[in-house]
Amino acid sequence: MMNEDAMDFADESPVLKVGEEKEIGKQGLKKKLVKEGDGWDTPEVGDEVEVHYTGTLLDGTKFDSSRDRGTPFKFKLGQVKLIGKLQDGTVFVKKGYDDEAPLEFKTDEEQVIEGLDRAVLTMKKGEVAYVTIPPEHAFGSTESKQDLAVVRPNSTVTFEVELASFVKEKDSWDMNNAEKIEAAGKKKEEGNALFKAGKYARASKRYEKGAKLIEYDSSFSDEEKKQSKVLKITCNLNNAACKLKLKDYKQAEKLCTKVLELDGRNVKALYRRAQAYIQLADLDLAEVDIKKALEIDPDNRDVKLEYRTLKEKVKEYNKKEAKFYGNMFAKMSKLENAEAHREHLQQHQLIDFGKCDDAMSALCAAYHCAFLNFPLKLEWLILIFILEPNFLSLIYHLMGVRGQPQCLESTGSI
């Protein structure tokens, strides 16, 4: 079964024969099978794996090798090295612990580049493969000093990888309460790292898993319940931020509501739910949340800015509403005039609707009939279609304004 993170890449586990190379997903990551593995099972995110690997540049330069060190490399899948830039332009390379913690992500476990992590997700125990990884899934636009060589910015790299073994991550029902809380905390941290790197869909999945691990806490002690409540609030709040980025506003609103059920005065939850309500055009509900947030924290700059956005949306909505009702009243007036026009045509027989032998006559007849809701003859529309097809759009427009047209029986009817 494909794990949830692997679904980010289409065709994450391509079926390969020895010597065959295929792309993993649609983002330039390629895998060539060297040796088949055992069975059918593949590791999933959170599983601990042992691999032997040799990393080389495209010119053949070796930059890192577990085989040279004589011991396999052990790491947890899904805890990848993240490389990029912060908003102030600072380049970050996160590989575990960092005093400055620009990604708010700390772990004692080693991590690997995303492309290698992705490739191992597709491998079976004992399998050997060559993996070609483009810069965006390797070391990115930064220079990286490795054990044996320097990887220049924007370098495509290759790895010969052997999956020596893997150990499945514990399921929640196999964990005790302390383990559940610890695992939920790790999922939150992983989500934070992915969010800061702009990987919102993957971050969302981490937060969801973290919250799910501690969803049922009836057996928790009072202290454990306090810890799980904090984690639930954080995971759901951060997940709501992901959903806003992904434009899934309904889910963002639901997640904020969950937080407010636990903490009714949570300003971030009120603020993010208001953002979701604005995008869902529930402007009254958005205003209620913003006003409540400002009662709790009157000086909150983000909430004040969102209130301005809301007021602009309300103005825009009121303009559209005024225009809508103005158009509606204009149509009502036009319909009243049409009734008088209908009586005038009927009384004075200004148009003989039955005698139309050219497109202009047919158009004139069809125009009046469509506008006045008289029946339309099929012959008229056929004649217009043959001689002046562009006129049909005008007739259809009038038919749409008046509603469904009536039909007269003739050689045919519509």
Kindly report, residue by residue over 18-29, the tens digit of the pLDDT. 999 999 887 789
- What would the mean pLDDT of 393-409 be, rounded to a whole number? 48
Higher pLDDT, 160 or 342: 160
User: Are 204 and 239 a contacting pair, CB within 8 Å?
Assistant: yes
Q: What angle do CA 311, 245, 183 make, to 5 degrees?
A: 130
What is residue 169's DSSP assignment?
A: P
Q: Give the helix/strand (H/E) hosting 56.
A: strand 48-57
- In which band, very low, low, confident or very high, does the pLDDT at 331 lie, cut at 50, 70 and 90? low
Domains of the chain, CATH where assigned = 6-169 (3.10.50.40), 177-313 (1.25.40.10), 353-414 (no CATH)
Q: pLDDT, tens digit, for every residue of 81-131? A: 544 444 444 444 444 333 333 233 333 334 688 889 889 999 999 999 999
| Exposure letters 316-334 (e unless 16+ CB within 10 A, then b) | eeeeeeeeeeeeeeeeeee
Q: For position 364, what pLDDT does the model report?
A: 62
Return the pLDDT at 366.
Answer: 60
pLDDT in the model for residue 7: 40
Mean pLDDT value of segment 5-23: 68
Tens digits of residue pLDDT in 343-360: 554 554 444 444 445 555
pTM for this model (two decimals)? 0.54
| pLDDT of 394 above 70 | no
Mapped onto helix, strand or coil, the DSSP state of residue 234 is helix
Q: Please list the residues that pair with 208 across neighbouring strands.
A: none
Whole-angstrom distance between the N-terminal and C-terminal Cα of the chain? 54
Give residue-wise pLDDT tens across range 266-308.
999 999 999 999 999 888 899 999 999 999 999 999 999 999 9
What whole-number distance in Å separates Cα of residue 351 and Cα of residue 341? 12
93 or 379, greater pLDDT: 379
In this structure, what token pair is assigned to residue 275?
Answer: 């953002």
* β-bridge mates for residue 131, sequence order: 31, 159
What percent of the chain lies above the pLDDT cut of 90? Answer: 44
Q: Determine if residue 99 is left, alpha or beta; phi over 0 gives left, psi from -120 to 50 gives alpha, anything else beta.
A: alpha
CB atoms within 10 A of CB 99: 5
Residue-level pLDDT at 80: 57
CA dihedral 318, 324, 326, 331 (to 10 degrees): -170
As a whole number, the mean pLDDT across the chain is: 77
> Would you state the structure tokens that stand for residue 185, as one six-digit string?
């905390």
Q: How far apart are CA 247 and CA 192, in angstroms?
A: 19
Determine the Cα–Cα distance for residues 46 and 75; give it in Å rounded to an integer.
9
CB count, 10 Å around CB of 352?
9
CA dihedral 264, 268, 270, 272 (to 10 degrees): -140
Q: Point out which residues pair with 362 in neighbouring strands.
A: none
Closest listed residue to residue 193, CA positions, set 302, 276, 117: 117
Q: What are the start-end ranges of the H helices in 162-296?
A: 177-196, 200-213, 222-245, 249-262, 267-279, 283-296
Q: What is the largest CA-CA distance in the chain?
A: 105
- 56-64 mean pLDDT: 94
Structure tokens at 88: 């102030």
